[in-house]
Amino acid sequence: MMTSNINFKKYFAFALSIFMLSSISTLTFIQQVQAQTPKRASVQAVKRAPASHQKSFIDSRYQHNRSYPSRGQSFRALPRDHKSVIHGHSRYYSSHGVWYRHDRGRYFVVAPPLGLFVPFLPLFYTTVWFNGIPYYYANEIYYSQTPGGYVVVEPPQGEVSETPPDTEGEEGEDIAGDKMFIYPRNGQKEEQQEVDRYECHKLAVENTNYDPTKITSQVPAEQIMQKRADYQRMMADCLGSRGYTTK
């Protein structure tokens, strides 16, 4: 009987020791998990947070002071008042000085390519002068007048004036005599008009050594004005021979 009691006490003490060790291990594990949980949640929160980037900016150059979406952003749909322009084999969309291209079901904000011809200017733009010639600025893009509309050009490399030259007409007519419009006499489609305009532009550049898409300060203003006038006449002659009326 004494032996049974001694054995029982030994087993009880052994079982109690195992239980206490197990409880201590479990408590320690729970404390460790609780201590690590906030850190894991914090890491997950950082991973799920969207990458911070500037969604819009204020273009304050030349006191333009207008807000535009940053390039690289994408939208599911275009603004309702957008206009489309074909350049080469690509189609671009414009609305209030912002340019878009379609890719993978989205419309991305982009910079239009140099040499892009457009029949319109943004609704809001700022006029600046370089070598006595007006350029139209909006959303970090410069436009210059050309027969039938405007063309996207390089930024002027030199001193740009925000004040019109003294020789500007009283009613705001630019001194370069660029007020020229073209009309397709033979019902040419938009794609054909773009091809004809571009080919005539290349021909005029080759024959006059003047490219309105490249603004330079290396040539005196008087020579630039003469070359520009020669370019305009060459463009008008070329377009006229292709079935367009220039006015």
Query: What are the pLDDT digits (tens) for 200-246?
Result: 888 988 998 888 777 666 667 777 778 888 888 888 899 889 998 87
DSSP 98-122: EEEEEETTEEEEEPPPTT-EES---
Domain count across the chain: 2
**Contact indicator for 104, 93 with CB cutoff of 8 Å:** no
pLDDT digits (tens, 9 = 90+) for 183-198: 888 888 877 887 888 8
Q: Locate 135 and state its tokens.
A: 């350029």
- At which of 49, 68, 88 does a domain end? 49
Residue 185 has φ and ψ, to the nearest 5°, of: -70, -30
Does 18 lie in the same domain as 131? no
Measured CA to CA, the distance from residue 171 to residue 227 in angstroms comes to 25
Does 106 lie in the same domain as 154? yes
111: which residues sit within 8 A by CB, 6+ positions away?
71, 99, 140, 141
Q: 62 to each of 20, 100, 123, 127, how far by Cα in Å?
A: 79, 24, 16, 9
Q: Locate 28 and state its tokens.
A: 């320690």
Coil vs helix vs strand at 55: coil
pLDDT surpassing 80 at residue 199: yes
Listed residue (170, 172, 163, 133) closest to 150, CA to CA: 133
pLDDT digits (tens, 9 = 90+) for 123-176: 899 999 988 889 999 999 999 988 778 999 999 888 888 888 765 444 444 444
- At which of 33, 49, 65 does a domain end? 49
Measured CA to CA, the distance from residue 55 to residue 66 in angstroms comes to 14
Cα-Cα-Cα-Cα torsion 27, 30, 36, 40, nearest 10 degrees, comes to 180
Does 115 lie in the same domain as 20? no
Does 108 lie in the same domain as 8? no
142: which residues sit within 8 A by CB, 6+ positions away?
135, 136, 152, 153, 154, 155, 156, 215
Coil vs helix vs strand at 57: strand
Does 136 lie in the same domain as 175? yes
| Least confident range of 10-24, 30-44, 206-220 | 30-44
Mean pLDDT of the chain: 78
Does 67 lie in the same domain as 20? no
> Residue 40 belongs to what domain range?
1-49
The pTM score is: 0.64
Does 60 lie in the same domain as 11? no
Residue 203 burial (10 A CB sphere; 0-12, 13-18, 19+): middle
Amino acid at position 58, single letter: I
Does 45 lie in the same domain as 62? no
Does 66 lie in the same domain as 36? no
Does 26 lie in the same domain as 60? no
Does 198 lie in the same domain as 123? yes
Does 99 lie in the same domain as 60? yes
| Least confident range of 69-78, 119-128, 195-204 | 195-204
Q: Locate 21 and state its tokens.
A: 């060790």
- 98 has which bridge partners? 95
- At which of 26, 49, 72 does a domain end? 49
Measured CA to CA, the distance from residue 242 to residue 247 in angstroms comes to 15
